Amino acid sequence: MAGVAVSRPSDPALRWAIRVALAILVVGVAVYLIRGADTTSRPTIDTNGARPSRVAGFDQIGFSVRSPAGARSRHCGLLAITAAQMNQGLMNRTDLAGYDAMLFQFPEATTTQFYMKDTLISLSIAFFDVSGQFVSATDMTPCGAAAVCPLYRATGPYTVAIEVPLGQLGHVGAGPGSTLSVGGSC
């Protein structure tokens, strides 16, 4: 029987270095597994009662908007909180499947910009800061086959963005002076 002879390193320093390298590798793999190998998992955001929706890949969540005069309106929206959900958004959809809006909820204040790549319907978007105060809004149009799509941004940092069909921000009560609360079932 032919084989390969494996010899053990005779130098104690070399054996010690190999053991340390293996220990570091084992600890690294353990940390990776403990902290979570799935980078598309939910960020550490309180989803406040989000439930599975009728649209594959998204949850649904209740939200309310209070007008500057104090009137409150309650709605139901699709919730995007993972990077994969946010990247998908309303791409390739012709409607919101009966929901009032799609909410993009970030774990902390952001200035992330939106675009309309592969989006089939024109949308309006409103941005709300960490305290729920309205930041700004804008209308967005599909960019079709354009090589570069325009970017749409808020006028300041925000934690939640709400997309609705073009011109429908008033339907959910979003506008200057309004306040957003997210949570609860639909």
CA 62, distance to chain mean position in Å, is: 17
Q: The whole model's pTM is what?
A: 0.73
Q: Which CATH number applies to 51-182?
A: 2.60.120.1140
Report the pLDDT value the prediction gives residue 1, as an integer from 0 to 100: 41
Is the per-residue pLDDT at 114 higher than 60? Answer: yes
Residue spans of the domains in the chain: they are 11-40, 51-182
Report the pLDDT value the prediction gives residue 39, as an integer from 0 to 100: 40
More confident residue, 74 or 22: 74
Report the pLDDT value the prediction gives residue 37, as an integer from 0 to 100: 41
Is the per-residue pLDDT at 176 higher than 50? Answer: yes
Q: How far apart are CA 125 and CA 169, in angstroms?
A: 8
3-state SS, residue 87: helix
Place of tokens 């012709």: 94
Is the per-residue pLDDT at 15 higher than 80? Answer: no
Q: How far apart are CA 122 and CA 135, in angstroms?
A: 21
Give the mean pLDDT of 95-111: 96
pLDDT tens-digit profile of 122-131?
999 999 999 9
pLDDT band for position 136 (cuts 50, 70, 90): very high
Q: What is the mean pLDDT of the chain?
A: 83
**Interior angle at CA 74, CA 153 and CA 163, nearest 5:** 20
Q: How far apart are CA 80 and CA 83, in angstroms?
A: 8
Report the pLDDT value the prediction gives residue 128, as an integer from 0 to 100: 98
Report the pLDDT value the prediction gives residue 55, as an integer from 0 to 100: 87
Report the pLDDT value the prediction gives residue 48, as an integer from 0 to 100: 62
Report the pLDDT value the prediction gives residue 147, as an integer from 0 to 100: 83
Give the mean pLDDT of 148-175: 97
Report the pLDDT value the prediction gives residue 12, as an integer from 0 to 100: 73
Q: Are 148 and 160 in contact (CB under 8 A)?
A: no
More confident residue, 37 or 21: 21
Is the per-residue pLDDT at 34 higher than 70? Answer: no
Per mean pLDDT, which range of 10-14, 51-55, 150-154 is the poorest?
10-14
| DSSP secondary structure letter of residue 134 | E
